[in-house]
Amino acid sequence: MRVMLDIRDNKAASLLDVLKSLNYVKTEILTPYKAKVLHDVKEAVEEMKLIKAGKLKGKNAEDLFDEL
């Protein structure tokens, strides 16, 4: 299972020490850039799911190119 936590900087070190002491937990610290990319990709996937379910209307490619 993968869990993402958002922790205040001044509290993160102590929690990471605890997590690293558990042999069944793998820790990974994401850079702010990686965290933003991961968030944006998850958001895009959720949006695609809503479009496929008919709950959200998608844009056609021509409109997207016009925005650029």
**44-63 per-position pLDDT tens digit:** 999 999 999 999 988 888 88
Strands (E), the chain: none
Only one residue has tokens 């021509």, namely 62
**2 assigned to some structural domain:** no
Residue 50 to residue 28: CA distance in whole angstroms: 30
Task: Please give the model's pTM, rounded to 2 decimal places.
Answer: 0.59
* CB 30, CB 38: distance < 8 Å: yes
Mean pLDDT of 15-43: 92
Only one residue has tokens 């925005």, namely 67
Q: Domains in the chain: how many in total?
A: 1
Q: Which domain holds residue 14?
A: 9-67
Mean pLDDT of 2-24: 91
Tokens of 23: 């042999």
**32 assigned to some structural domain:** yes
